[in-house]
């Protein structure tokens, strides 16, 4: 009896397997027009080849009734499913800056001006959580990718059943908790596409319905069976995986990641392949998952291989009298596309206030909003640095409800910077930043610079946008500064500087700020030598200073900009007691102006004029407030320094200094620059005699620079008419 039961079970299992295996053939017996399914595998940038295959499918008029995709196949399949043509998808791909898209970078135009100084000075940044400093779950959160998906699918945000899309669609993700494949055929389409392509370690995983999801290619990179379950009778499969490589072929990190994914999904792939009726594999072995700059070539390779299948596809079309389905073509939205906002809802706010987020977005209810305005608001909110990601969902027919989803950034972060230059030598910056302390929208920062000239600075800032905000700073610097005679160093002195500064300011359009403030400054100088025209051997004093400032920064990048300008203007009154300066019946006055504008002459050549000016009015001005000209560093430790190419740091002392400079910047090839720097200046004791008296100085420099992941790496040769011979200057890393 037991034997008969086992035998019967075996027979039934075999019949079930054979029935499933023949599903794509048997169902054709009872239907006049078989259902055609399309499977698109994952493969990173190599997935662009799918578009070439789709172009031929469109050209031949082959109807596609179901689509299933994984990773990049999910991205392209999702767009095709909502009505984009292959040509539309090709245009979308070729018009992207993939380096920016596959990062969380946001244009500096959307970063508040007080944050721009910190925007590019760290090489490492870690969240601080209750258990200590933690590594992020992925190198990239996927802010820009998800925003792109949301814009391109905006008219389908209401459709939560992917089977009801113009072409029924599903994609595959991996549940990181169970290790099982998850079929995503309902929900929010952009988020499902993003989850399917969340390559582990590179993209942070996505949580959907309580499951933490990552790239589906780890388990099922070729979901043929899932397509058959949808109802497909005939399956066309496009596979862009490179397969398992030998150890000699594993040459890069991307190769290792791709190999790991391929090995994990290998058995599933072999099983799925058995049910694929038409199997197309583009010849793209020379490309990698990271070949995003070769998009046009990869699309061509896909089209090329698909053309060899034209006879097979045409036979299929004729055999079953296949006719192209009439699917309404989806017209891509453009920047001027407008939507009427009836209501705005926020999801994910906890420590950040409603007013801060709504102020950054600057959207109005019961009004029209363009897609461009919508994206600008998202960028401003993300650029505020209070969120790890900001995305949106547009619900409703004619009157829309805009749902803004945010993930608040960990309010505590630990940051590290490294730097070396010829003037200041090596230094390490350790920074801890806390947000939303005491007040939502606030930022508390502690800087500790470890170097021969150490520095400590703490800053507390409250950003209220157009409304007056608050900035409080305390800073200590211990610097070694050199004295010079006819271009030669004659000694050094220890310069200690302590400052407590408070100001109120207004920020508008993220790039402009204006403010008023006051500070208490303490200077202490010690040295073993004395110079008649510079300082006495030992000196110290306190000063009370009032100031007004205007700050503007619209440069596209902090280093090697190609457009935009920056301006910092400050006027201050210097006193000993809050009312006047010693030996004067009024305060001394100091004005400082720094202006730089990048003028792009071509994609590679930029002219970068600059002006630095510092003017001091008053009698018996303390040496602490004189102007010191020289140096190429970009620090702001002391506002008494005026940069000059060809001189060493703070080499020449004068009362007033006016420097005119132009940099001619040429990008030889990607991130490699050759820069000719020419400057001339006038040093004068009495500003009223600036046109008729004073000393002219001239200098020139030639810099070769590489803009690396750790910041600029620069080597400069310089000459000045105030020094003998040619000097050199080395700079490595972000300035801080």
pLDDT at res. 237 = 98
Task: Report the distance separating Cα 634 and Cα 411, nearest Å.
Answer: 29
Classify domain 412-733 by CATH number: 2.40.160.50
Residues of the chain with pLDDT under 70: 1-32, 243-245, 249-258, 260-264, 528-538
User: At CA 81, angle to CA 278 and CA 180, rounded to 5?
Assistant: 75
344's tokens: 């705005």
pLDDT at res. 332 = 83
Task: Report the distance separating Cα 249 and Cα 272, nearest Å.
Answer: 26
pLDDT at res. 724 = 86
For the domain made up of 36-104+144-246+281-320, the CATH class stated in words is alpha beta
List 24, 41, 65, 71, catalytic entry: 71
484's tokens: 């010079």
Q: Is 532 a catalytic residue?
A: no
Distance (Å) of CA 622 to CA 539, 573, 579, 626: 10, 13, 16, 7
Where along the chain do the CATH 3.10.20.310 domains lie? Answer: 338-408
Give bridge partners of residue 614 from the DSSP assignment. Answer: 592, 657
pLDDT at res. 74 = 97
Task: Report the distance separating Cα 375 and Cα 382, nearest Å.
Answer: 10
List 88, 118, 215, 277, catalytic entry: 215
CA dihedral 117→118→122→124, nearest 10 degrees, is -160
Where along the chain do the CATH 2.40.160.50 domains lie? Answer: 412-733
Q: What is the pTM of this model?
A: 0.83
Q: Which residue has the tokens 């998202």?
A: 378
Q: Is 71 a catalytic residue?
A: yes
pLDDT at res. 257 = 65
DSSP reduced 3-state for 132: strand
pLDDT at res. 308 = 97
pLDDT at res. 510 = 86
pLDDT at res. 17 = 33
pLDDT at res. 23 = 37
237's tokens: 């499969």
DSSP reduced 3-state for 375: helix
Residues 76-98: tens digit of each pLDDT = 999 999 999 999 999 999 999 99
Task: Report the distance separating Cα 582 and Cα 532, nearest Å.
Answer: 21
The 8-class DSSP code of residue 639 comes to T
Question: For the residues of 70-89, what is the DSSP string, one character each?
Answer: ETHHHHHHHHHHTT--HHHH
Task: Report the distance separating Cα 60 and Cα 55, nearest Å.
Answer: 9
Chain CA centroid to CA 94, Å: 20
Among 647, 641, 707, residue whose Cα is nearest residue 675: 707
Task: Report the distance separating Cα 162 and Cα 152, nearest Å.
Answer: 16
Q: Which residue has the tokens 């020139």?
A: 700
Could you say which architecture CATH assigns to the domain 338-408? Roll (3.10)
Cβ atoms of 42 and 220 closer than 8 Å: no
Q: How many CB atoms lie within 10 A of CB 131?
A: 6
Task: Report the distance separating Cα 204 and Cα 257, nearest Å.
Answer: 15
Where along the chain do the CATH 3.40.1090.10 domains lie? Answer: 36-104+144-246+281-320
Find the distance separating the first CA and the last CA of the chain, reported in whole Å. Answer: 83
User: At CA 253, angle to CA 247 and CA 257, rounded to 5?
Assistant: 80
């Amino acid at each position: 009896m037991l034997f008969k039961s086992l035998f019967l079970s075996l027979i039934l299992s075999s019949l079930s397997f054979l029935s499933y295996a023949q599903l794509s053939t048997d169902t054709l017996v009872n239907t006049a027009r078989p259902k055609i399914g399309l499977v698109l595998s994952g493969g990173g940038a190599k997935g662009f080849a799918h578009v070439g295959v789709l172009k031929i499918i469109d050209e031949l008029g082959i109807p596609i009734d179901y689509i299933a995709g994984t990773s990049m196949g999910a991205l392209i399949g999702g767009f095709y499913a909502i009505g984009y043509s292959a040509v539309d998808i090709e245009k979308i791909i070729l018009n992207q800056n993939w380096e920016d898209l596959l990062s969380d970078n946001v244009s500096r135009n959307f970063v508040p001006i007080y944050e721009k100084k910190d925007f590019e000075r760290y090489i490492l940044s870690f969240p601080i959580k209750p258990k200590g400093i933690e590594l992020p779950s992925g190198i990239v959160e996927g802010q820009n990718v998800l925003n792109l998906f949301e814009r391109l699918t905006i008219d389908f945000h209401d459709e939560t059943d992917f089977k009801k899309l113009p072409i029924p669609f599903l994609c595959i993700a991996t549940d990181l908790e169970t290790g099982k494949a998850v079929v995503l055929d309902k929900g929010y389409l952009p988020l499902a596409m993003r989850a399917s392509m969340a390559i582990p370690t590179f993209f942070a995983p996505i949580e959907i319905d309580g499951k933490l999801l990552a790239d589906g290619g780890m388990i099922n990179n070729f979901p043929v069976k899932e397509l058959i379950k949808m109802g497909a009778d005939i399956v066309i499969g496009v596979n862009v995986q490179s397969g398992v490589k030998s150890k000699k072929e594993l040459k890069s990190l991307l190769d290792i990641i791709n190999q790991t994914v391929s090995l994990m999904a290998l058995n599933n792939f072999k099983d799925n392949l058995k049910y694929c009726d038409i199997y197309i594999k583009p010849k793209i072995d020379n490309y990698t998952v990271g070949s995003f700059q070769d998009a046009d070539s990869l699309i061509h390779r896909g089209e090329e291989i698909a053309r060899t299948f034209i006879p097979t596809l045409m036979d299929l079309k004729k055999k079953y009298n296949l006719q192209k389905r009439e699917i309404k073509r989806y017209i891509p939205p453009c920047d001027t596309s407008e939507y009427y906002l009836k209501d705005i809802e926020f999801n994910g706010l906890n420590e950040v206030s409603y007013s801060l987020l709504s102020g950054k977005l600057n959207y109005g209810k019961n009004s029209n909003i363009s897609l461009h305005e919508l994206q600008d608001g998202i960028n401003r909110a993300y650029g505020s640095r209070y969120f790890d990601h900001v995305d949106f969902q547009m619900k409703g027919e004619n009157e829309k409800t805009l749902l803004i989803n945010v993930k608040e950034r960990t309010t505590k972060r630990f940051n590290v910077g490294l730097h070396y230059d010829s003037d200041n030598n090596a230094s390490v910056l350790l920074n801890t930043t806390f947000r939303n302390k005491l007040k939502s929208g606030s930022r508390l920062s502690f800087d500790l610079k470890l170097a021969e000239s150490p520095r400590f600075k703490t800053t507390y800032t409250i950003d209220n946008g157009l409304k007056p905000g608050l900035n409080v700073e305390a800073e200590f610097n211990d610097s070694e500064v050199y004295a010079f005679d006819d271009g030669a160093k004659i000694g050094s002195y220890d310069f200690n500087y302590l400052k407590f500064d408070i100001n109120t300011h207004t920020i508008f359009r993220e790039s402009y700020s204006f403010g008023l403030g006051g500070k208490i400054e303490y200077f202490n100088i010690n040295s073993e030598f004395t110079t008649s025209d510079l300082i006495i051997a030992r000196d110290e004093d306190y000063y009370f200073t009032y100031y007004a400032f205007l700050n503007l920064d619209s440069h596209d990048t902090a280093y090697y900009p190609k457009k935009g300008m920056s301006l910092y203007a400050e006027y201050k009154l210097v006193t000993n007691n809050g009312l006047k300066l010693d030996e004067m019946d009024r305060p001394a006055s100091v004005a400082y102006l720094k202006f730089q504008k990048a003028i792009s002459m071509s994609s590679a050549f930029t002219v970068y004029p600059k002006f630095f000016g510092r003017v001091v009015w008053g009698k018996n001005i303390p040496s602490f407030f004189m102007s010191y000209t020289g140096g190429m560093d970009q620090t702001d430790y002391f506002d008494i320094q005026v940069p000059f190419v060809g001189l060493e740091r703070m080499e020449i002392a004068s009362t007033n200094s006016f420097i005119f400079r132009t940099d001619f910047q040429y990008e030889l090839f990607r991130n490699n620059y050759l820069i000719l720097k020419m400057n001339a200046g006038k040093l004068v004791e009495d500003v009223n005699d600036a046109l008729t008296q004073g000393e002219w100085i001239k200098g020139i420099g030639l810099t070769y620079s590489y803009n690396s992941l750790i910041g600029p790496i620069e080597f400069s040769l310089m000459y000045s008419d105030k020094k003998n011979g040619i000097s050199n200057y080395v700079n490595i890393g972000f300035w801080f």
